[in-house]
Chains A and B, each alone.
Chain A
Amino acid sequence: MWKYLIEKEFRQFFRDPMLPRIVIVFPLLMMLVFPFAANMEVKDINLVVVDSDRTDISAELIEKCTGSGYFRLKAVCDDPREAQEMMDRNAVDAILTIGQGFSRSVATGEDVPVGIKVNTVNGTKGSISSQYLSDCIMLFMRQFSVSGPSVASAQASVLQSASAPVIDAAPKYYYNAYMDYKVFMVPALMVIAVTMVTGFFPALNIVGEKEAGTIEQMNVSPVSKTAFIVCKMIPYWVITFFMLGMCLLIAWLVFGYVCRGSLWGIVLFTVLHIMVTAGLGLLISSYSENAQQAMFIMMFFVLIFMLMSGVFTPVSSMPAWARAITYANPLRYYADAMRAIFLKGSSVAELWYDAAGLLTIGAAVLFWAVRSYRKTS
């Protein structure tokens, strides 16, 4: 009987005009489009330089910045007001001011009169621009100190004083400058794809049976509710793993990223995560009467899960109360585990914390779901 129930689900799935296509197109879109689109790398920052020094050394600094590939030099002017006016017009994103006596200060090791101004209407872009600029200046200083041994000691002190305030942030953006942002996004996008499919499909499927009235026929049959639900879930597990496989394959073929950790770890955490989202889907479908309700409630949860999971913004930068909420978010554990396995090659034992989190939430949700689904009202 189980075999036939599962067979029926597959038949219905493949007969649906949309679902099989979505399962193919969705991961393709996720993996081929979003890593480029959901990119936080900032490029083509429009830069204006106010060069009051006008020496070879200041010219070299300007070249260093534009040579990094992140900046587009709009103009070099003498008047700071002119540069400010350009920023007001939104013509430039950043102003680099090189003060008078820059070359002399570099040589003697005095405080270097360099100023950075950025447009932070787009906060992310602004802060990253400013970071890139100061990275460029620091790089320039370091090179200068190597190339000019006569002032080596002076340079060292300049370097130290310049690098001191950015010790915390520097490694983060430093890697970002050379490494690809896509690397971070690829496992996160897999997480999102899995969550969407396992969360929405089962919920809509059961509500669909309610809408069609077929659940009534199933309820008067001797089929147990466990059999009914498990047979509904199994096809979606198969589909999810098919999708996950597709994602991993695309990551390898297109981006050349290979999972550093064991694939079994990924499978294990995916199974745990499916338990949570599918359980939630069931829970929602047993409380909603039609697809619209189920869709909206699921959407509500999935959005919160995604925004508060650390997929897009790190959990550590959230305020304490928001961080507390993330402990109840299954996506937090799953995304963390997937990134750790995929990027760092962590073992399951090292991620026991994430596994425990998923298990706890999953058990609670499933327990509630099975209790709430009744054949008799």
Chain B
Amino acid sequence: MNAIEIHDICKSYGRVRALSGVSLEVKEGEIFGLIGPDGAGKTTLFRILTTLLLADSGSASVAGLDVVKDYAGIRRIIGYMPGRFSLYQDLSVKENLEFFATVFGTTVEENYDVIRDIYSQIEPFRDRRAGALSGGMKQKLALCCALVHKPSVLFLDEPTTGVDAVSRRDFWNMLARIKASGVTVFVSTPYMDEASLCDRVALIMRGGIIDSGTPSKIESEYPYALYAVKGTPMYPLLKYLRTADGVLSCFSFGSVHHLAVDPSAAGVGEARQKILSDIVSAGFRDCDVQEIRPGIEDCFMYLAGRSRQN
């Protein structure tokens, strides 16, 4: 049985279409990442799955329970951590935890082993009010509160948005441990680099899934040869490359440009040489061209471009 099944879910807010025909399957015990930019429909899908929102059409089930018919059952077995910190800021760390344990009909002691790893990190501050915690600690507390009733499916809506790089890494380590304890984790993120930390991902854009599968499967299906191109000045180089012959796409990725070319046009070594000589002769300095393996972001850009054309 799949932990989450989504069939052809549609949802509109007035005339704005938030989700158009989303279908997904999340297997039990995996970390499934829903990856897409802001406004892609991630939160809407989360709210439908957590029974906070009714879909216009389509059906979905969590742990075999229908989100409309068995909403009460779902509420007992899921943990939900919304994107915005939403615990009681005027209650202390310990009070928040006890409150959410009680609300789900359990006690902190009963499920202490589930949260021990994470809670031990914030335990020194247990009498501090939640509002006075730092961002990273708030997030840990929220995760504890979502886990305290031992849910079988954990929904995390953009848990790492606005969190520093070190805390993000910490957080993903925690998710791995949660997964190891048998909980299915459904997580959304706008950061493409987090895709590789998931077992499987779905790429979502404008309310539609553009691809899904394991990160390596998605990366392996990237159809073009990809080069990281460096040169000074950067921006004119980007403009130059986009107009160059044989270039399918070119996007800026921090300090380099990712350049896609048709792999069948020329041999690998030749293509690299050709690009290098082209940009050097065009007058760019400090030039370097390396062939690279595509990442999820490259795949997303490619798939997004393709779906926009369709």
Contact = CB atoms under 8 A, between A and B. Distances in A.
A and B are interacting partners: yes
A212 B90 CA distance: 11
16 contacts: A4-B98, A4-B102, A8-B88, A213-B82, A216-B52, A216-B80, A217-B86, A219-B52, A220-B75, A220-B80, A221-B103, A375-B52, A376-B51, A376-B53, A377-B52, A377-B54
A156 to B, nearest CB: 75
A354 to B, nearest CB: 39
Given A213-B82, A214-B86, A217-B100, A1 B91 contact: no
B142 to A, nearest CB: 9
Contact of B104 (A12, A222, A377): A222
Contacts of B90: 11-12, 15-16
A213 B86 contact: yes
A252 B250 CA distance: 84
Contacts of A16: 90
B52 A376 contact: yes
Contact of B75 (A1, A15, A213, A221): A221
Nearest to A13: B90
Given A212-B89, A213-B85, A222-B76, A4 B52 contact: no
A216 B51 contact: no
Contacts of A1: 102-103, 105
B79 to A, nearest CB: 9
A11 B98 CA distance: 13
A247 to B, nearest CB: 28
Interface string A218-247: 111111000000000000000000000000
Contacts of B274: none
A8 B85 CA distance: 19
Describe A's contact surface by its main secondary structure.
helix
Among A5, A8, A11, A377: residue with most chain B CB under 10 A: A8
Contacts, number: 71
A377 B103 CA distance: 21
B268 interface: no
Nearest to B90: A15
A12 B105 CA distance: 21
B247 interface: no
Interface in B64-93: 71-72, 75-76, 78, 80, 82, 84-91
B160 to A, nearest CB: 18
A100 B54 CA distance: 89
A12 B88 contact: yes
Nearest to B75: A222
B99 A8 contact: yes
Interface string A82-109: 0000000000000000000000000000
Given A212-B88, A222-B105, 11 more contacts: A1-B102, A8-B88, A8-B95, A8-B99, A212-B86, A213-B84, A216-B82, A216-B86, A219-B52, A220-B51, A223-B103
Given A219-B52, A222-B104, A376-B71, A4 B99 contact: yes
Interface string A1-33: 100110010011001100000000000000000
Nearest to A223: B103
Interface string A198-217: 00000000000000111011
A376 B91 contact: no
Contacts of B91: 8, 11-12, 15
Contacts of A219: 52
A250 to B, nearest CB: 31
Given A15-B90, A213-B86, A222-B75, A377 B80 contact: no
B50 interface: yes
B42 to A, nearest CB: 15
